[in-house]
Amino acid sequence: MTRALIVVDVQNDFTEGGALGVTGGQALAGRISAFLARHGDEYDLIVGSRDWHHGDDDNGGHFAVGVEPDFVTTWPVHCVAGTPGAEYHPELDTAPIDVHVMKGQGEPAYSAFEGTTDTGQDLADVLFDRAVHEIAIVGIATDHCVRATAQDGLRAGLDVVVLRDLVVGVDPGRSATALAEIADAGGHVDQSDMDEGIGRPGGALV
């Protein structure tokens, strides 16, 4: 079975100090790098996704402009294309990533399946072209973009695995619910082996 690993939105704006920083995001970036060093060659394809928003509009209502964000459908400006906030966190080793997809260019986007490569190919087509049948998902945030990516993977008929110790969420309760929803929909929520000799990052890991 052809397997892919999807690294979801491990970006500066989603880690501590960023516009939408998640507690534990920085440590998670290093933890994912350690996982890639240990297991990267076990995947036939490694994909990295990033929010890559416009900086001169509200991205289809995604950015709150002139009002307070509700943090449900509207958000502070974040991950503007070409800015440091949109870049991968420096502790994430991007060398093993084979394909990069960007999402949210002028519209709300949460799932990595809404992203496209710089040649315009969407993620589903990338996976189809490589005959991928199983995806493992790691990254930020469990209760938002990880959840949406897993749901779209299941809808695409893929076997979906979320590695619970390699994701970090905004809200622990909503994150636990998201993992339960993924499992109830037919996905798998598993644990990696990264606790063997490697400390857990701070903050909520779901």
Q: Which residues are catalytic?
A: 9, 103, 145
Sign of the torsion angle spanned by Cα atoms 152, 158, 164, 168: negative
* Whole-angstrom distance, CA of residue 126 vs CA of residue 195: 32
CA nearest to 147, candidates 172, 173, 182: 182
Whether 85 and 33 have beta carbons less than 8 Å apart is answered as no
- For the chain, the straight-line distance linking the first and the last C-alpha, in angstroms and rounded, comes to 28
Cα gap 3→200, rounded to integer Å: 26
